[in-house]
Structure 1
Amino acid sequence: MTTRPITAFADHELRNSPAEPHHHLVQAHVLGVAEIAPHLRRIELTSPDFHDWTMTGPDEFFGLVMPPEHLNTTSAFFPMLENLPRQERANLRSTLNAIAEDERPALRWYTVRHLDTQRGVMAFDIATHGVTHESMVNSADAHADIGPGLRWALCAQPGDPVGIFSARGLWDRRWDRQLVVADASSVPSALAIAEFMSDLHPGQLQSIRFVITVESEADIEASSVEWLRTHAEHVEILYRPIAKQADATLTYLQSESHVKPDYVWVSGEGNLCKDIRRLAIKEWRLETDAIFWCPYWYIGRPRP
């Protein structure tokens, strides 16, 4: 499963950063939940609004608005969404923060993994880091750092209501020689970039180097890894414990055998992102507009 068909994208060239779209909040339901790897869960959502959804880029993210447990029904949650002020810009967080805490929906951001406009279905992947619903319930203290997104994902059932807040893609292909760095949480974005390039600009795909760091093969979908190795020329997967991933990736990239990239895209754990950004600025002398970095989460803090 990929972000294809390519007709889902507004711009097939992406020579500039995707433009800020008109944001909107739509109502959706969980359609299905599947374990696509031992530590990776895929959730499919359905909504009539997805028939007309247009993506701005392959790494497009969206806001997942999750109801508090006592409002986890269509009849209770959707009226709340309808009563929220209309969003003209991406200020949904402040809007939700104005709601009383015991009634406030949770908000987390994820990457669109697949959009099927014909069926009206959107899918996204969540790294579980080995946490299961059973272990979360039975060992609450051991999993105190679980954030609302993962907690919701481990409990999600078909029919559950959610809100989907449109955002945009952030990557573009104006630089030929690129470096894409991802951990388990951002692999969906890295794969989506590779798939977009394979479909539309396969020649340039061979100039992009992918470095992925995960704990084990359980963190990534085997078929996706096989596909990436087949279609991209430069792929390295580093298997390390989470606490050592940032250092291992930095050491690997500092090797003199690697050609300096013209552009860096890095997302995932915060220390990993900071280290790669620092490397790109101080050692590779890249301008800040040639570096995209986005911390999804931090070790020791609640995860999304």
Structure 2
Amino acid sequence: MNPTGLLEVTAVRQVTPRTVRVTFTGDGLGELEPWPDQQLKLLFPPAGRPVRLPSADDDVMRWYQAYLAIPEDERPVMRSYTVRSRDPGRAAIDVDFVLHAGPAGPATAWARTATPGDVLGRYGPDAAYRRPLSTADTLLCAGDETALPAIATILSEVDNAVVFIEVADAAEEQPLPGEVHWLHRDGAEHGAKLLAAVRDAKLPDGSVAAWLAGEAGMVRSLRRHLVADRGIGKSAIEFTGYWRRSLTQDDAPTSEDLADAAEKLGA
């Protein structure tokens, strides 16, 4: 599958008050092999301009250098998202957009007004980033609403997961199979109720692995608890900070971001 291409919006629907599900079609999507937590880069064009794509290249670093070489006023904004579901018969994928409160970033601003016929660019999904699911007796999944699409795909593959998801309020819950514990912030600090619930959770006997995603600081706190307090080995924890409070993917990484990246790479 060509790693880069165009995506056209074919449908938009509001699945919760703060989540918009966008259906895309595009060349190559019908050949897309599914796997859990399947991520891709979406490219949002500058206002009033078509999407300008870097030259196609299977090597991600050469592709990224070509992306940076696009003049700044023509360069699309790039953001990472997870494939929520797919329909290979129609060469279509669904992507969920969380409409964050406060000033809208480029992805949220786009999602709020997305209509059929709109076009974005993409890079991926790339099978090089596919990670196998753990074979532990229990898989603990924990995250905020941005992790919900990935958790949904994981639950389609396993039946041994214990899941904790923190969302803004009860209206943000979505139907999911299995043992899912919903935590409602209802104005509380982001991540506080999730961390408390995971700390208090009684997990089944046997080996435990974890999958954590969402706001980066929250993910770090969860991971520290699982390692220091529960004795789960670092290698048994898959973790990703999808977003950072007060920062975007365009901002320079913090020292904690760099430490996380080094650990994921085994440095």
Give the TM-score band, short-chain normalised. 0.7 to 0.9
Shift of 1:288: 1.8
Distance between the aligned counterparts of 2:221 and 2:2, measured in 1?
32
**For structure 1, which runs of at least 5 residues remain unmatched after alignment?**
1-21, 132-142, 198-204
Q: 1:120 to 1:263 in 2, by over 3 A?
A: same
Residues 295/171 of structure 1: CA separation in 2 closer, same or farther (3 Å cut):
farther
In structure 2, relative to structure 1, the CA distance for the partners of 1:219 and 1:173 (3 Å cut) is same
* Aligned residue in 2 for 1:120: 91
In 2, Cα distance between equivalents of 1:122 and 1:256: 34
Determine whether 1:163 maps to 2:121. yes
CA RMSD of aligned residues (A): 2.4
- 1:142-174 Cα offsets, whole Å, 9 max, x none, are x33x32221221122211121221134435132
Distance 1:208 1:43, change over 3 A: same
2:161 matched residue in structure 1: 208
- The structure that is helix-richer by fraction is 1
SS in 2 for 1:196: coil
CA distance in 2, matches of 1:217, 1:169: 32
1:217 aligns with 2:177: no
Distance in 1 between the 2:170 and 2:232 partners?
32
Residues 1:268 and 2:214 are matched in the alignment:
yes
Q: What amino acid is aligned across from residue 189 of structure 1 in structure 2?
A: A
SS in 2 for 1:100: coil
Q: In structure 2, what is the equivalent of residue 140 of structure 1?
A: none
Give, as a single letter, the amino acid of the residue that structure 1 aligns with 2:202: S
For 2:107 and 2:132, how far apart are their aligned partners in 1? 24
CA shift at 1:217, angstroms? 2.3
Looking at secondary structure, tell me which structure has more strand per residue: 2
- The whole-number CA distance in structure 2 between the counterparts of 1:96 and 1:242 is 39
Q: 1:170 to 1:252 in 2, by over 3 A?
A: same
Determine helix, strand or coil for the equivalent of 2:189. Answer: helix
Query: How far apart in 2 are the matches of 1:157 and 1:242?
Result: 31
Separation (CA, whole Å) in 2 of partners of 1:93 and 1:218: 39
CA distance in structure 1 between the partners assigned to 2:201 and 2:26 by the alignment? 49
Which amino acid is 2:138 matched to? R
Structure 1 ranges of 4+ moved more than 3 A? 90-95, 168-171, 256-261
Q: Select the residue among 5, 8, 19 that pairs with 1:40.
A: 19
2:181 to 214, 232, 236: 236
Could you tell me whether the CA contact under 8 Å between 1:24 and 1:88 is conserved in 2?
no
The CA deviation at 1:101 is: 1.6
- The correspondence for 1:257, drawn from 198, 202, 211, is 202
Instruction: Give the structure 1 partner of residue 76 of structure 2.
Output: 105
User: Is the 1:147–1:303 Cα contact (8 Å) retained in structure 2?
Assistant: no
What TM-score results when the alignment is normalised by the length of structure 1? 0.73
The separation in 1 between residues aligned to 2:149 and 2:89, in whole angstroms, is: 22
TM-score normalised by structure 2 residue count:
0.83
Contact 1:63 1:165 in 2 (8 A): yes
Between the aligned partners of 2:221 and 2:195, the Cα distance in structure 1 is 7
Instruction: State how far apart, in whole Å, the 2-side matches of 1:154 and 1:122 are.
Output: 19
**Secondary structure in structure 2 of the residue aligned to 1:212:** strand
User: 1:193 is matched with which residue: 154, 157, 166?
Assistant: 154
Unmatched segments (≥5 aa) in structure 2: 251-267
Distance 2:139 2:109 in 1: 34
Q: Which residue of the partner structure matches residue 5 of structure 1?
A: none
